[in-house]
Amino acid sequence: MKYFLLSSLCFIVACQAPAKKSNELRQAKWIDLTYSYDSTTLYWPNNLTGFEHHTDAEGKTALGYFYSSYSICTPEHGGTHLDAPVHFAEGKMTVDQLPLTSITGEAVVIDVSKNALANRDYLVSVADVENWEKEHGQIAEDMIVLFRTGYGSFYPDREKYFGTAKRGMEAIAELHFPGIDPQATEWLTSKRKIKALGLDTPSMDYGQSKEFKTHQILLGQNKPGFENVANLDKLPATGVYVIALPMKIGKGSGAPLRIIATIGN
């Protein structure tokens, strides 16, 4: 009898757990952190092409029903997108090789907008993270870290977002937007053992970077990066869960990204 009661209790608990999880997902508040891909999508100034959307079919068919189909063309890196490790690290993972555990998980949002909006060449520092930790506690291992610089409010205004309205190679020297100090990237990956980095600017490295050290450090450790992330102002500092699913491009160095977040109750 005792065994029967214990077995029954275990069965009830096992059945309740999935139901509770399912209920939590239904009640979750989801925030879309993705910009739409269209004619306004911003790409690196020297990209030869931008987003292209072509109509292959649109309208009533001979049988009377509506049908539409379109073709798209886009560089890997532009709009809200993922940088795969192979982007700056030879032999590291491509987009399709990234495990789901690398692009989903708990996240923290660190607001550096006060300093970043006052200085277009601002570098997010270790001190920024340590100051955040004084208020919110130490960042746990395997976290996704998102930096809010405030520059998302400029998207898709090219001049305000990039620091220049110019296009082509001549624009590269005039790029001015914040990024993550390589020392902070090294500290986050070694001392806090984060799983991914993201922010609301065109690049993890600041606009005047020549060597893209933050890219080299982060991606060199087979950790992905998220760029041009939207709506970070809608997220709290903690209690965030992120799902960042890129287009699964075989051998891709990057890909358009649909990234969403839910806020814990």
Is residue 74 within 8 Å of 88, Cβ to Cβ?
no
Is residue 242 within 8 Å of 194, Cβ to Cβ?
no
C-alpha to C-alpha distances, 100 to 105, 119, 224, 257, nearest whole angstrom: 9, 36, 11, 13
How far, in Å, CA of 54 to CA of 59, rounded? 14
> Catalytic residue among 77, 81, 87, 215, which?
87
pLDDT score recorded for residue 28: 82
> Active site includes 215?
no
Q: Which residues of the chain have pLDDT under 50?
A: 4, 6, 9
pLDDT score recorded for residue 260: 98
Interval 8-42: pLDDT, tens: 545 555 556 666 656 666 778 899 999 999 999 99
pLDDT score recorded for residue 9: 47
Interval 104-115: pLDDT, tens: 999 999 999 999
**Sign of the CA dihedral with 211 first, then 124, 235, and 151 last:** negative
Identify the CATH number of the domain defined by range 29-34+76-263. 3.50.30.50
Interval 37-56: pLDDT, tens: 999 999 999 998 999 999 99
pTM for the whole thing?
A: 0.91
